[in-house]
Chain A
Amino acid sequence: MISRRQFLAGALGFAGGWVLSGADLSFGAPYPHFFFTQIQYRGGEWDPNPMYAGPIVEELELRTSIDATRERRVIEVSDSALFYSPFLYMAGRYEFEPFSEAERAILKRFLTRGGFLLAEDTVGAGGFGFDRAFRREIAQILPEHPLERLSPEHPVYQSFYLIGSVAGRLKINPYLEGITIKNWTPVIYSQNDLSGAWSKDRYGKWTHECVPGGDPQRKAAFKIGINIAVYSLTADYKRDLIHHPFIRRRQNL
């Protein structure tokens, strides 16, 4: 039998969660250890899956020891707060306006001096829309470092789960692409709409179906999401010699 006080507390908690889900984090608040900072760019559609952060961070907190917040931050590239963002996120469906030279310089400084960016094309249309614009911009920002398919041995596939194949809401490419500079991959790019697989609406229902794999595919999307988050905080930690025999033994099972 539930008391009136318990009912009211539960109702207030539910209402608070409902109101705050998908909300953005104010910059007046202190920075937690992990949170999404999403780039709001000009043109195109910068926020195709606005409800992705809560579910993936909830999963991150459930499975790992990472101290995270479910609220995301939204910034423009020219915002100096970009340099204090542990996990920069950028997504879209359509072609967007080119970054200015100043914005490119900021992103270059951020990415070559320790920053991290996860970018994803949420429609998986290779050579069109967001994919074309992003590849154009990243080639301008880091012209010496090509965007390449990450090998199966890359630490991002081993940072928490041992992952052999990548999937999101879609399964366009069973792998991730990235730009690697001296053992660190500051840019990871996906065309499988990971955030689409993570998104829930305010009532807790999945926003999109995962095709063609359904729920197992969604589970895989969360696993790679957790791996990317752990990689952004530990880099090539799993490349340390002490991990080798354990990982090899498990991969051979």
Chain B
Amino acid sequence: MSRFALTIAPVFPLGLILLLCGLGLAAVVALYRLNREKLGEKRALTLSLLRLAAIVLILVCALNPARVIRQEHTVLPAVAVLVDMSETMGQPVAGNTGTRLEYARSLLLNGTSPLLQALKKRFRVDVYGLSDSVRPLATDELANFPAGGKKADARQTLAALGGKHAVALLLSDGNVEWRSAPLQRMPVITVPVGNPDAYRDILIKDIKVPPLGFRGREIVIDVTVKSYGYAGTSLPVVLNDSGKLLTAGDIHIGTSPAEVTASLAFTPDTVGRKNISITVPRQVGENLIGNNHADISIQVVRDKTRILMISGTPSVNYRFMRTAFKSDPSIDLLSFVILRTPSDILNVPPHEQSLIPFPVETLFTRELTDFDLVIFDNFNYSLYLRPEYLENLQAFVKSGGGFAMIGGPNLFHEGRDSLSPMADLLPVRFTDDKFYRRDLPVGVRLGRSGARHPIMQIRDGDETDDPEQERFWREMSPLEGINLMDAKPSSLVLIESADGIPWPILTVSSHGKGRVLALATDYSWKWYMGMVAAERGTQPYLRLIHRMVRWLTRDPGFDPVQITLPETGAVAGQEVDVGIAFQGESPDAVPEAALSVSVFDPAGVKVASKLKSPSETGQFLVSFAAEKEGVYRLAVETPVGSQTDFLIVAGPQDRLDAAPDHDMLKEIADTTGGKYVWPDDQLLETIGDFAQKAEGRFIEEKRLPVWANSFVMAVVLGLLSLEWFLRRRWGLI
């Protein structure tokens, strides 16, 4: 409907226009009187009227008259059609029927009167596909787009579309993220897809596992199993470590649906990363089987570092080392001090002395593997240990244990025998001459491998090749007694004597899978008290002792090669980045060409990997495509060491709960002020009812200036021209 009106919008103030009008009228009257005497009354009147008409027309233009046309319009409501296209929509509606997505498509596109077509006749319709992201869909895309991707965030989607649409129509099985209605309110009509009663599945829904496990201590894993359609069934839950059965437990499913948690416990007997698979057997008629299995990874570490220390005599050295061990709560020390030798005379009956038997047989046969580190401190083992005990000790180190020998006059008696297990085990060889010297104090200095070894980073801010470190050791208190020996070619000398012959003082090496250390003095306590005397603090000595223990017990933090796995884990089909870093020895000494990285998929097949340029010195990034789910093995080989780690790659159906959740759709409808409706003949009407509430009207106003055309200008010019013509004719010009 249109309406017309005339308005004015003066270009000058109205008072000014009226003033000009009065002046014009006065001028015309004056002109009339002037001309009447010359031309007579008629002609003077004609000229005055012509002039008056021209002035009036100009003043009318100054009023800016305009014709206004008002027209009322009605706007079609916009409807957003949201089709859930996430992975669960690929599940069958029931039994062997088509998928949920196919059903939703059919509802929109097929039938005698397709819903989408009917909607487009009455409304402006935008179609969107929902999964990881929201994307607008053309009709042909809707017909062909497959189900896939993670569940959609419905709240975020509605917040983005709310201002542009009057109502949303959501076709989904209810597997969407929904926390609360967005601020931008838009009613959502939810249409359920899928049949919850027909859905049958067993899935591992949740796994609670401690981030760290401790060797020898029970680890409890809580596995929550969810089931649909298997009420009254008992199922086993099985834990395997690299194909070997760890433990298993039964769960009983009482109702449907149901969630049952099984607590499964096992005790790891070795340290390292455990890759554990959790499985619930496949049941007949399950919709999904990929979610019956899950892989987890647990790093098993020592709860405490267990040290067996045997001291040949009470000594200040023993007391200070004991104090250092006791100051570290992660160390569990079992020490034996030989308080008297067989040659010492006891002058009291046994019940008046506190000496206990030295359980040498138990320690060196049955209990040796309970320890992580064995220390002989100025201990003449030849008096107490049979050769087979020494062989056991050697086997203990070969299999990964640590061994340290602290010097003194009692030590190394039998070690001079080059055929003894100790001679093979130790990182040093004994000289043929006097093996222990206690005559003149001996200063020390860093050995050729001392600056870079992790044991030696004992000062605050210690860095490799730090000149201060060299000075620090040169200023250490001299030692009153040292054992004289030579380092084996395969050993690293960290500290050596600074006076005369450079005798090795602190020497380390590997032996099989284990590590060994020889500290060729029983006066290292003087380093501690020397720092106290010089008021230089006591931390360096304590750190030296602690770092010796950590290195000997193969603390993972001391490994020269460190592998950093992605914090968020990995999913099959994605590109995975793994960090590799070097520390301790000399990080910048590992060129890219010397770095060998191998990645093996769960089947043990090597996969292609790409080494990216290091961002910092000693740091590399390796990327590879993890196509399969399961445990990937990463092996890094470098000149400074090797390292292996494992990465769990989750499958697409890992912990996927694909059961239709129609309650979620009801909640969305309720919280948005929409409606939960089954697809029937009334669906279109329901949408219409919601859309009508938002139907919009507006009035369109057009303003057409009356004077702004050439006709008005021509009339003004015509009047003035006619006046000029008559003046000339009548002889006034």
The chain A residues found within 8 Å of chain B, CB to CB, are 30-34, 62-67, 80, 83-84, 86, 109-110, 113-115, 158-162, 184, 223, 230, 232-235, 237-238, 240, 242-243, 246-247, 250, 253
Q: Answer yes or no: B709 CB below 8 A from chain A CBs.
A: no
- Tell me if B353 is interfacial: C-beta within 8 Å of chain A: yes
Closest 10 CB pairs of A and B: A233-B314, A83-B533, A30-B480, A113-B532, A250-B351, A86-B316, A246-B356, A65-B313, A253-B351, A31-B480
Please choose the segment from B398-406, B436-444, B562-570 that sits at the chain A interface, where 4 or more of its residues have CB less than 8 A away: B436-444
Q: Is B503 an interface residue (CB 8 A)?
A: no
List 15 contacting pairs A-B, 8 Å CB cutoff, sorted by A: A33-B313, A33-B316, A63-B344, A65-B314, A80-B533, A84-B529, A114-B525, A114-B532, A114-B538, A160-B355, A223-B348, A232-B319, A233-B314, A237-B335, A253-B351
Which residue on chain B has the smallest CB distance to residue A184?
Answer: B323
> Do A65 and B312 have beta carbons less than 8 Å apart?
yes
- The answer to whether the Cβ of B354 comes within 8 Å of any Cβ in the partner chain is yes
Question: Which of B338, B340, B477, B525 interacts with A63 by CB under 8 Å?
Answer: B340
Contact A237 B313 (CB under 8 A): no
A160 to B352, CA, bound (A): 9
Nearest-CB distance from A83 to chain B (Å)?
4
- In Å, the complex CA distance between A17 and B402 comes to 46
Of all chain B residues, the one with the shortest Cβ separation from A115 is B529
* Given A62-B345, A114-B529, A237-B335, A84 contacting B477 (CB threshold 8 A): yes
Known contacts A30-B481, A80-B533, A66 near B528 by CB under 8 Å:
no
Cβ of B43 < 8 Å from any Cβ of A?
A: no
Query: Do B356 and A63 have beta carbons less than 8 Å apart?
Result: no
Any A CB within 8 A of the CB of B666: no
* Chain A residue with Cβ nearest B532: A113
Number of A-B contacts (CB under 8 A): 118
Please name the residue on chain A nearest to B338 by beta carbon: A65
In the complex, what residue of chain A is closest to B348 when comparing beta carbons?
A161
Instruction: Provide the bound-state CA to CA distance between A73 and B412, in Å.
Output: 30
In the complex, what residues of A have CB within 8 A of residue B481's CB? 30
Nearest CB of chain B from residue A113's CB, rounded to whole Å = 4
CA distance A235 to B327 in the complex (A): 14
- Is B30 an interface position by the 8 A CB rule? no
Contact B337 A161 (CB under 8 A): no
- From B335, B344, B438, give the contact of A30 (CB < 8 A): B438
Q: How far is the CA of A80 from the CA of B532 in the complex (A)?
A: 10
Q: Which residues of B contact A64 (CB under 8 A)?
A: 314, 339-340, 344
Which residue of B322, B334, B344, B350 contacts A235 across the interface (Cβ within 8 Å)?
A: B322
Find out whether the CB atom of B352 lies under 8 angstroms from the CB atom of A233: no
Residues of B within 8 A of A114 (CB): 319-320, 323, 525, 528-529, 532, 538
B318 at the A interface (CB under 8 A): yes
Task: Report the Cα distance A128→B711, complex, angstroms.
Answer: 135
In the bound complex, do residue A162 and residue B353 qualify as a contact, i.e. CB atoms below 8 Å apart?
Answer: yes
Q: Count of chain B residues with Cβ under 8 Å from any Cβ of A?
A: 49
Known contacts A67-B313, A109-B535, A233-B315: A247-B354 contact under CB 8 Å: yes
- Output the least CB separation between A114 and chain B (Å): 6
Q: Does B346 count as interface, using CB distance less than 8 angstroms?
A: yes
Q: Tell me if A243 and B477 are in contact (CB < 8 A).
A: no
In the assembled complex, the CB of B317 is this many whole angstroms from the nearest CB of chain A, namely: 8
The 8 Å CB contact of B322, one of A161, A237, A243, is A237
**CB pair A243 B528 closer than 8 Å:** no
Residues of A within 8 A of B530 (CB): 83-84
How far apart are the CA atoms of A240 and B308 in the complex, in Å? 13
Could you say which residues of chain A place their CB within 8 Å of the CB of B522? 33
Q: With a CB–CB cut-off of 8 A, which chain A residues contact B525?
A: 114
Determine the chain A residues whose CB is within 8 A of the CB of B314 once the complex forms.
Answer: 34, 64-66, 230, 233-234
Residues from chain A with a CB closer than 8 A to the CB of B682 are none
- The answer to whether B148 has its CB under 8 Å from any CB of chain A is no
B334 touches which one: A223, A242, A250 (CB < 8 A)?
Answer: A242
Distance of B383 from chain A, by nearest CB (Å):
11
A158 in contact with B313 (CB, 8 Å): no
Q: Identify which of residues 320-339 in chain B touch chain A, using a CB-to-CB cut-off of 8 Å.
A: 320, 322-323, 333-335, 337-339
Residues on B with beta carbons closer than 8 Å to the beta carbon of A84: 477, 526, 529-530, 533
Which residue of A33, A83, A109, A234 is within 8 Å of B337 (Cβ)?
A234
- A250 close to B350 (CB less than 8 A): yes
Known: A33-B316, A161-B352, A250-B351. 19 other contacts (CB 8 A): A33-B315, A34-B315, A63-B344, A65-B314, A65-B339, A66-B315, A83-B532, A84-B526, A84-B533, A113-B532, A161-B348, A184-B323, A234-B318, A235-B322, A240-B335, A243-B354, A246-B354, A247-B354, A250-B352
Q: How far is B335's CA from A243's CA once the two chains are assembled, in angstroms?
A: 10
- Name the residue of chain A whose CB is nearest to the CB of B523: A31
Question: Which of B346, B480, B529 is within 8 Å of A83, CB to CB?
Answer: B529
Residues of A close to B535: CB separation below 8 A:
109
A161 to B320, CA, bound (A): 23
Q: How far is the CB of A76 from chain B (nearest CB, A)?
A: 15
Q: Which residues of B contact A247 (CB under 8 A)?
A: 354
| Interface bits B411-449 vs A (CB < 8 Å: 1, else 0) | 000000000000000000000000000111100000000
Chain B stretch 363-378: residues in CB contact (< 8 A) with chain A: none
A63–B346 CB distance below 8 A: yes
The complex places the Cα of A36 from the Cα of B481 at a distance, in Å, of 19
Bound: A86/B346 CA distance, A: 25
Give the chain B neighbours of A160 by CB distance below 8 A.
Answer: 339, 353-355
